Amino acid sequence: MNARRSYQHGSKKFAVVHGVHYRDLVAEGRIPTRVPVPTRRKSGLKRIVLHCTAARASWGWSDLIQYAAGPNGVCRKGCPCPFYGYLVHADGEVFKLAQDGWLTYHAGPWHNRRALAVALAYRGGAENVPEKQLEAAVRLVAALAVEYEVQSRDCVGHRELPWTGYNPITRRLRKVCPGMKIDLEAFRSAVRDEKLRIRPALA
């Protein structure tokens, strides 16, 4: 049974997955892509990675997709599609930037094939994450984890990934993403609780 349903409000298109509403910018045709977009098997998705944009909170989905499409720090000629599948704004609004089956460039080749990317529109520095934003991220990650049968322990922050997030030999961090103010153990615990509310057997 498909967990998602879609609806439209004016020119905006939305979808719902396990009670989480998001604006689907892919369905709206707002996402520039280079054809063909590299793909991955959705059945191979075993992890969800939480990121931050490392930009001011006002830097939203339109800024992000423009940056990804042009020359950037990941792809000199621009990426085939946005870095992240989903973006959560500071007010808690969620946007879908890429199909789940698209190969997004967010955490290194090995991780990209196996992990969905959820990003917070958040600098990731000394400031705290807005409560609404973090709560929305918890609900979204939990809903995606239920849909793809991802274990709560596999809902991680970018800094927890070997090689791209930290050096597994020296244990030194290479990234602070999604921000050191985010307690990732507490985040996973909240995701686990939300999964229990959605579907107890998969928590």
Query: Which domain covers residue 196, as residue numbers?
Result: 4-202
Q: What pLDDT is recorded for position 201?
A: 58
Cβ atoms of residues 15 and 142 within 8 Å = no
Q: What is the pTM of this model?
A: 0.94
Summarize pLDDT for 152-203 with one digit per residue, the tens: 999 999 999 999 999 999 999 999 999 999 999 999 999 999 999 998 755 5
Confidence at 57, pLDDT banded by 50, 70, 90: confident
Q: How many residues does the chain have?
A: 203
If pLDDT is split at 50, 70 and 90, which confidence band does 2 have? low
Q: What is the pLDDT of residues 80-92, one digit of tens each?
A: 999 999 999 999 9
pLDDT at 34 over 90: no
pLDDT at 1: 46
Find the helix or strand (DSSP H, E) in which 111 lies. Answer: helix 109-114
**Strand ranges (E), 59-158:** 86-88, 94-96, 115-120, 155-157
How many domains does the structure of the chain reveal?
1
Report yes or no: 169 and 163 within 8 Å, Cβ to Cβ.
no
Give percent of the chain with pLDDT exceeding 90.
Answer: 85
Q: Give the CATH number for residue 27.
A: 3.40.80.10
* Cβ atoms within 10 Å of 165's Cβ, excluding its own: 21
